[in-house]
A and B are shown apart, each in its own frame.
Chain A
Amino acid sequence: MNWRKKVIQPIILFLIINAGCSKKSNETLPILGRKDIREITVNGVTKLDTTYHTIADFTFVNQDSMTVTNETFSNKIYVADFFFTTCPTICPVMKRQMLRVYQQFKDVEEVMFLSHTIDPDYDTVALLHDFADRLGVSSTKWHFVTGPKEYIYEIGQTSYMVTAMEDENEPGGYLHSGAFILVDADRHIRGLYDGTREDQVDRLIADIPKLLKEYAQ
């Protein structure tokens, strides 16, 4: 009888501990980035007010020569990344993965995509147009944007929290992060995923519906 106790008890304990873990997949997505919590007084009542990290206002030009701003994405959730068309290493993988996400949500109007070029000198509007066209995507859903280089780098670093900079030692000449950033309709970052990894992009594909549900309520 004794050996059965030794086996069964730990198993029961294990199951109890793990029962709490399975609930994670149904939770809402966290809001990422620095947050400021301040005490404010409203009508004599003091409470805590949280300000979350928000994507700054932006203005770019897309592959159709149209001006694209944060207004273009109002009431939408979108996935952003940083790339350049002649990138030989991670970008092709990122584009293929982003295309997967695009195909998945092609008919969902609330989901959009924003790719920024970090080589605006070479990646002209015409080139971006050709690139997007060859990838086979609609420009009203997936915007490929360009703008002043320093401005793009700055927004990448301060708003989207991803690195991008020129580096002559890197193949292609640029060192940049392969991250996909999931942004909600309030311009908060809700997820960061490595766009070169299929398992992480699978996670992004699973997370988008959770975010959509949040706004549907």
Chain B
Amino acid sequence: MPSRSGIVLLLILSISWISCCTGSRDGESFTSKIRYRQYYNNGKKLYLNNCSNCHQEDGTGLARLYPPLSESDYFKADPGRTVCIIRHGQQGEIDVNGISFNQPMPANPGLTGLELAELMTYLYGTWGDEPTLFTIEDISGLSGKCDQEHSRIHNSAD
């Protein structure tokens, strides 16, 4: 039969373990950490299925043909622009780390808001400055302007 002080000690240790070791840095909750992991892992699958052909599994791109995402000033500078490029594609010359690239990137109209959120979480979690959870609301906010612009162009073309 364990002693009372033994049980109290165990209880104290358990509580401190739960509060210290299960992610309460910066007030982050346990559940949001899990959510980040889920988005990140799903995003990785999306990346491998849709993007790694050109940008490569390690994000280093290919010669001066396909730009890198890893250590890329262009990529890090503007996540909003990244969402727009993924969704609508891009054409024209861009400068990445001082090198010029000019290969058209195809659009990915089939990706849902959730998939974009997961993909962005993976992209910036891997090659951004710090891990960030992108939510569906974040994606709507970031892509609002370019979505409008895109449908304006397409509607006027009809």
Binding site for B on A (CB under 8 A): 85-86, 88-90, 92-93, 95-96, 99, 130-131, 133-136, 171
Q: Is the interface of A mostly helix, strand, loop or mixed?
A: helix
Whether B48 sits at the interface, judged by CB under 8 Å, is no
With a CB–CB cut-off of 8 A, which chain A residues contact B62?
Answer: 92, 95-96, 99, 135
Q: Is the interface of B mostly helix, strand, loop or mixed?
A: loop
Interface string of B66-91 (1 = CB under 8 A from A): 10000000000000000000000000
Contacts of A136 in B (CB 8 A): 63-64
Given A86-B104, A130-B102, A134-B103, is A93 in contact with B63 using a C-beta cutoff of 8 Å?
no
Query: Is A134 in contact with B53, judged by CB distance below 8 angstroms?
Result: no
Which residues of chain B are near A135, meaning CB under 8 Å? Answer: 62-65
Using Cβ atoms and an 8 Å threshold, which residues of chain A touch B102? 130, 134
Known: A86-B104, A88-B106. A131 touches B65 (CB 8 A): yes
Question: A130–B64 Cα gap in the complex (Å)?
Answer: 10
Instruction: Please tell me which one of the listed residues A85, A86, A92, A134 contacts residue B64 in the complex, with CB atoms under 8 A apart.
Output: A134
Show 23 A/B contacts (Cβ-Cβ < 8 Å), sorted by A.
Answer: A86-B104, A86-B106, A88-B106, A89-B53, A90-B53, A92-B53, A92-B54, A92-B62, A92-B65, A93-B53, A95-B62, A95-B65, A96-B56, A96-B62, A99-B63, A131-B65, A134-B64, A134-B65, A134-B102, A134-B103, A135-B64, A136-B64, A171-B106
Q: How far is the CA of A134 from the CA of B61 in the complex (A)?
A: 12
Contact flags B98-112 to A (C-beta < 8 A → 1, else 0): 000111101000000
Nearest B residue to A86 via CB reads B104
Query: A89 vs B51: C-alpha distance in the bound complex, in angstroms?
Result: 9
Residue ID in chain B nearest A132 by CB atoms: B65
Residues of B within 8 A of A93 (CB): 53
